[in-house]
Amino acid sequence: MRLDKLIASNGAFSRRQAADAIRRGRVAVNGEPAVKPDAAVTPGADRITVDGEPFLYSPNVYYMLNKPAGYVSSTEGRDTVIALLGEDGKRPGLFPCGRLDIDTVGLLLITDDGPLSHLLLSPRRHVEKEYFFTCSPALTDEGIKMIENGVDLGDFTAKPARIAPSRDRLSGTVAVTEGKYHQVKRMLSRAGSEVTTLKRVRFGPLSLDPDLAPGEYRPLTEDEISALRRAADKEGIKP
């Protein structure tokens, strides 16, 4: 495998940035400085460091995106979340793990790891998705209890959710383990209030990075990837 392709494999570098880092002497292979981006290396056998730190090869990439409003959680068409990744978005096989409505903002995981995504979204894993919402009119005691106990939405009954309303009950957070179409909006509507803004702030163990402005993204850290894998393995079935 080409060295520059390997260095770009985990999403921290683009292919061009990886080649530049190699030429600048920032990369070493088996303790020797590398200078040729097209040098052949063997993942798992050759010991590779970048800026003196061990480089961990992954065949997949994982990005945290702070999705802005106006973008669709799709891989095709105009104004897709993949387009926000620029050159990194050209990697084959990338897709959003789950969906956010066009007007819903916040944390979106983008990856090319299909098996892990499938497990994270599986109802069996009960992986929570937490949202911050604003609403009108204010939630009532009855509406809050309805959400906590499970809401009959007609086509399905939403499972009990954890809700933490603000003091004036015009905002709060709600955590669900399902991901049905417009679920949070429909739950609050059934409880007597309408969502005015909605932002995903957490997906399982992954919390939205406060340093990411709307439209910005970054690769996940190794710790974050490991935490997602543990969340997917709750039922004892490894991805």
Identify residue 89 by its one-letter amino acid code: G
Residues 126-160: pLDDT tens digits?
899 999 999 999 999 999 999 999 999 999 999 99
Per CATH, 3-54 and 128-203 having the same topology is answered no
What fold, for 3-54? Answer: 3.10.290
**What's the CATH architecture for 128-203?**
2-Layer Sandwich (3.30)
Question: Is 107 buried (19+), middle (13-18) or exposed (0-12) by CB count in 10 A?
Answer: buried
CA count, 13 A, side-chain hemisphere, 200 = 31
Active-site residue flag, 113: no
Question: Position of tokens 């090319």?
Answer: 112
Residues 205-217: pLDDT tens digits?
999 999 999 999 9
Nearest CA among 47, 25, 20 for reference residue 35: 25
Residues 25-38: pLDDT tens digits?
999 999 999 989 99
Identify residue 186 by its one-letter amino acid code: R
Partners of 32 in beta bridges:
29
pTM for this structure? 0.79
Please state the domain extents for the chain: 3-54, 62-123+205-232, 128-203
Top CATH class, 62-123+205-232? alpha beta
pLDDT at 234: 63
pLDDT at 238: 41
Which of 20, 101, 112, 233 is catalytic? The answer is 101
Nearest CA among 106, 104, 108 for reference residue 195: 104
Longest dimension (CA), the chain: 67
Taking the chain (239 residues) in runs of 10, the rounded mean pLDDT of each run is 85 82 94 93 88 84 96 91 91 92 97 94 90 98 97 93 98 94 95 98 97 96 90 60
